[in-house]
Amino acid sequence: MGKPCLVGSCNIMHSIMLLFGLLMVILKTTGAEVGVCYGMMGGNLPPKQEVIELFKQKNIQRMRLYAPDADALQALRGTNIKLLLDVPKDKLEYVAASEGNAAQWVQDNIRQYNDVNFQYIAVGNEVMPSDSAAQFLLPAMQNIRKAIDEAGLGDQIKVSTATFMRAIDGSSPPSGGFIRSEYQPILGPVIKFLRDNQAPLLVNIYPYFAHSGDPSQVPLDYALFTAPSTVVTDGSLHYQNLFDAMLDAVYSAVEKAGGESLDIVVSESGWPSDGGDATSVENAKTYNTKLVQHVNQGQGTPKRSEKPIEAYLFAMFDENHKEPEYEKHWGLFLPDKQEKYPISFN
């Protein structure tokens, strides 16, 4: 039987516990969190309203949409799901052409949905130097940012772009990461823009491709968060999983480009369940569930241990219109909304 306590001291203890619980909720909401990318390149996917309901049922509090979709945005109204919305690559020239075009895009796709919880706008996804859109990336970001500011949403919505590991070299050890020379003309000005506007860089990070591209040098357990001990030592930092090493390589590369103060959001990560080397339902389950657990611990990476990780799993559903074959099998759910394997976001 527990010892009795004075009413006043019990009330104080109760208040402290409530305050602690509230603090934990605030930290979880504003820090470490995993979202899911909602891709739509499938011919057999559920109606948008049912997809949003599935996000709510699974307590998935963040979503990435790769283009504005009226039905999805309508279904998101009032849900408080935090949204990362892309300006598709084929729209960069349009929004870069004039401030008026960017203002119209923001009016049509942001301001019209004033009860949707927009958090980030990704202006372009994986823009490469050879893309015709590359020349429009920075002016498109500048125009969208100005339109967001003029709409009075500059404190709520951060404007960025999503890049990928192809832009980074020298990533082992992570401290050696740097931006590849051909990407510097693109990302150098972008990093300055993000620094000046206190916005994060979005990066798609896939340990799957690192392993499948060089399995003899990148062990499967290191890529799947299952290595039993340190695999890579980088000075005083120790890496037991490849995800952290890749993320810290990006931090190192961005620092070398003048972005010491930038945060990084992992805008895609995942593992396919079929169609390629090292693909299986078990491997997909292991990677995705352990990534969620890793993020939810709130401990950050070895290099940025004070910074909770924010990441988006790719993807919500298998998408049968994609090629090659392994691109069809990234979904957490089948098109009939059944889980491919159990996964919890709590």
Q: Which residues are catalytic?
A: 126, 268
The CB density around residue 310, as the number of other CB atoms within 10 Å, is: 24
Half-sphere exposure of 64 (CA within 13 A, CB side): 32
Angle of helix 137-150 versus helix 99-109 axis, rounded to 10: 60
Q: Which residues of 212-230 are buried (b: 16+ CB within 10 A; e: fewer)?
A: beeeeebebebbbbebeee
C-alpha distances in angstroms, 300 versus 94, 242, 265, 266?
A: 38, 14, 12, 12
Query: Angle 162-308-213 (CA atoms, 0-180°, nearest 5)?
Result: 50
Say which residue the tokens 């890049």 belong to.
Answer: 163
| Residue among 51, 124, 60 nearest 312 (CA) | 60
The percent of the chain in helix, strand and coil, each rounded to the nearest 5, is: 45, 15, 40
Please answer whether residues 204 and 164 qualify as being in contact, where contact means their C-beta atoms are separated by less than 8 angstroms. Answer: yes
CA–CA dist 111, 313 (Å, integer):
27
Cα dihedral 252, 246, 311, 221, rounded to 10, equals -150
Q: Alpha helices, DSSP H only, in the chain?
A: 7-30, 48-57, 70-76, 92-97, 99-109, 137-150, 184-197, 207-213, 220-223, 242-256, 281-296
| Residue among 77, 83, 81 nearest 56 (CA) | 81
DSSP per residue, 76-113 = HTTS--EEEEEE-GGGHHHHHH-HHHHHHHHHHHTGGG
Indicate the residue type of 193: F
